[in-house]
Structure 1
Amino acid sequence: MSVRATGAARVAGVVGRPIAHSLSPVIHGAWIEAAGLDALYAPFSPQDEPAFERLVRGFRGGVVAGLNVTAPFKERALALSDEADPVAIRAGSANLLLFHEDGHVEARSTDGFGMIAAFAEQAPEVDLTARPAVVLGAGGAAKAAVAALLDAGSPEVRVVNRTIARAEELVFAFGERTRAFALADAERALDYAGVLVNAAAAGPVLALDHLPEGAAVMDMTYRPLKTALLQAAEARGLPTVDGLSMLINQAKPSFEALFGQAPPDIDVRAVALEALK
């Protein structure tokens, strides 16, 4: 049954640039309809960081319940908040902003939760605590991935980035159990690793020859669903985790925070896959 929003609808959305590719409106929209809520979930795409800041200022006071935040605004989202949960502070970025009626802006990070849940869902045989993890990228998504992997018990997280200085900055922020590698040195980073996570929007396809048997490969990208990296991992017989699983799992706590109830039990992955076609 389709639900028509009224003037009293609870409004939320997702903000990023570009944003037209985002499946978040599809996922949250399916949950809103299944739950019969008087609500809207809309995409927003400010041109640049100053425009994003104006958007956040304009939504203070709770006219909009909140926003999921995607690239390139995750780090700035945390900086613009008045309060933040410990996960967002540790990650150095936020993918969820909540606008309270008293004018306060609260930042949260559900990316790490979504990533770990995606591993449990699609590669349950992989022990995240057994061997080092490798994260490709050094932006907001990479920071959330590093924080989540450390919190999950990874013995070491190796950050690989084209610009070694960015990787070193990230490693410095986390301290122990992290190491920085230049992209040219990626093969050494993969030695004895148990997990490889691509958290770079346009990350290069690494040669996986040095990745041990049984290591899991995840790509946060979901357009295409089977990226070149995941195809290379499958060709080697390695377990893979796709970005759609992470997107859906990070969206679950976001939906509850935005609309005050857990998402309804529907096959939202099927809905998202249909939209991907």
Structure 2
Amino acid sequence: MTGGRRPSAAAADPGRGWRLGVFGWPVAHSRSPAMHTAALESLGLGHWRYGALPVPPERIDAALAALAESGFAGANVTIPHKHHALRAADVLTPAAAEIGAANTLTVLGDGTLEADNTDAPGLIDVLGEPAAGRTALVLGAGGSARACVWALREAGCSRVAVWNRTTARATELADDLGVDAVTDAFAADLLVNCTSVGLHDPAETFDLLPVAPAGLADHRVVVDLVYRSGGTPLLHAAEAAGTRTVDGLAILVAQGARSLERWTGRPAPRDVMDAAVRRD
């Protein structure tokens, strides 16, 4: 069911040594543990612990069901578990329910589990300009893409379109959220890459995405959710074309800060978090 905001269990008892973490498969590359550990220390909650939680798909349902009884205040959830997180929850925020994917789980005071999606507002936090009236093209059709499409639609974009290498997946997402599916890129004001292209093999970027370096000048802002040391070819090409860019680390911090604030009930130290994720 959907519901309003009830207090988190941890915010009511910050003196307890709560556990936090990020579920994923794989998850060793995640910078969330370093980011949240630095934030917790800054907030005087160094007795809390945040770690990487590598759990394969066949075991994730059991792991999420045991969250509250295992001493967790909550957890982040990344690929490929965002849909599992939604199903595991007792309470859904409106954003999680409408997007159909969750990246933040919170244990509430009565032991029930709330699912939220902080990816969506995290994107809007870092755009640096109003989305209202702009056109947007989202590349990808997974959980992060669903969050970004929903966020841009809710922020008042005049048109939101989805592209995916598998056209049927783009069409399904577009139909679910009432936006457009496209088979090629166009000169949208906002270009948001929600695929994993460029993470493991940067050289494949412009072979697998429907954009070319020369065409990036047609966009006002290029956002790449992928983050890797040295940046991504997509963002390097956009910068060379004179387009403003937003990297995946900025979005990681924005969504992570919102998760942390939900768990602790305290303002997140975003500058501390940003410094932590950019430290090689």
If the TM-score is normalised by the length of the shorter chain, which range does it land in?
Answer: 0.7 to 0.9
Structure 1 residues without counterparts, runs of 5 or longer: 1-6
Q: 2:190 matched to 1:181?
A: no
Question: 1:3 matched to which residue of 2?
Answer: none
Structure-2 separation of matches of 1:209 and 1:237: 11
Distance 1:190 1:263, change over 3 A: same
Tell me the amino acid that sits aligned with residue 36 of structure 1: G
1:79 CA drift (Å): 1.8
Question: 2:236 matched to which residue of 1?
Answer: 231
Question: 1:45 matched to which residue of 2?
Answer: 54
Tell me the amino acid that sits aligned with residue 33 of structure 1: E
Question: 2:173 matched to which residue of 1?
Answer: 170
Question: 2:71 matched to which residue of 1?
Answer: 63
Worse overlay, 244-253 or 204-213: 204-213
Question: 1:105 matched to which residue of 2?
Answer: 113
Q: 2:31 matched to 1:23?
A: yes
SS of 1:106's equivalent? strand
SS of 1:9's equivalent? coil
Structure-1 separation of matches of 2:51 and 2:216: 40
Contact 1:83 1:105 in 2 (8 A): yes
Question: 1:145 matched to which residue of 2?
Answer: 148
Contact 1:190 1:210 in 2 (8 A): no
Contact 2:120 2:147 in 1 (8 A): yes
Question: 1:200 matched to which residue of 2?
Answer: 195
Structure-2 separation of matches of 1:265 and 1:78: 26
1:201 CA drift (Å): 1.6
SS of 1:138's equivalent? coil
Question: 1:190 matched to which residue of 2?
Answer: 186
Structure-2 separation of matches of 1:88 and 1:197: 20
State the TM-score, normalizing by the size of structure 1: 0.86
Distance 1:159 1:266, change over 3 A: closer
Within-5 A mapping of 1:152-167: 152-167=155-170
Distance 1:214 1:140, change over 3 A: closer
SS of 1:14's equivalent? strand
Alignment deviations for residues 189-228 of structure 1 (CA, whole Å, 9 cap, x no partner): 323x100000112264321544564521000011145211
Structure-1 separation of matches of 2:161 and 2:271: 37
Q: 2:86 matched to 1:78?
A: yes
Contact 2:103 2:119 in 1 (8 A): yes
Question: 1:4 matched to which residue of 2?
Answer: none
Tell me the amino acid that sits aligned with residue 144 of structure 2: A
1:83 CA drift (Å): 1.1
Distance 1:91 1:168, change over 3 A: same
Structure-1 separation of matches of 2:271 and 2:194: 28
Structure-1 separation of matches of 2:214 and 2:180: 21
Identity %: 39
Structure-2 separation of matches of 1:171 and 1:264: 35
Q: CA RMSD in A?
A: 1.9
SS of 1:267's equivalent? helix
Tell me the amino acid that sits aligned with residue 124 of structure 2: I
Contact 1:113 1:250 in 2 (8 A): yes
Structure 2 residues without counterparts, runs of 5 or longer: 1-14, 199-204
Contact 1:135 1:160 in 2 (8 A): yes
Structure-2 separation of matches of 1:225 and 1:134: 25
Question: 2:269 matched to which residue of 1?
Answer: 264
Tell me the amino acid that sits aligned with residue 229 of structure 1: L
SS of 2:157's equivalent? coil
Q: 2:224 matched to 1:219?
A: yes
Structure-1 separation of matches of 2:270 and 2:20: 20
